A = this chain, B = another copy of it.
């Protein structure tokens, strides 16, 4: 059921971004650009930055944002152990209200570790 979720996720995200950017004023387009650039390697490596995005998304409880950063973290080579240590920080900081998002992430992570 969650098999290939990341492909469907990328497609749906691209489809909706197209709708947004067709109607969007310059300010929204610039925000989207900033949102890309902020995760690029700098003084901190891209892997660390994606982990920062992942933990922030989990404590703010946004499954779509969690999905995006799971994929990107995986591309940067984050291992299962590293993922779970990041999840653990999100859980302690954000509390039990984070648990549904942790369950969601854990299931999606398994497919990601198998298929990529």
Contacts and interface: CB of A to CB of B under 8 A. Distances in A.
Interface in A62-103: 62, 64-65, 79-100, 102-103
Contact of A91 (B28, B43, B65, B84): B28
A28 B100 contact: no
Contacts of A48: 48, 51
A77 to B, nearest CB: 12
Given A62-B61, A89-B49, A27 B19 contact: no
Interface of A: 13, 16-17, 19-20, 23-25, 27-28, 30-32, 34-35, 37-39, 42-44, 48-49, 51-53, 55-57, 59-62, 64-65, 79-100, 102-104, 106-107, 109-110
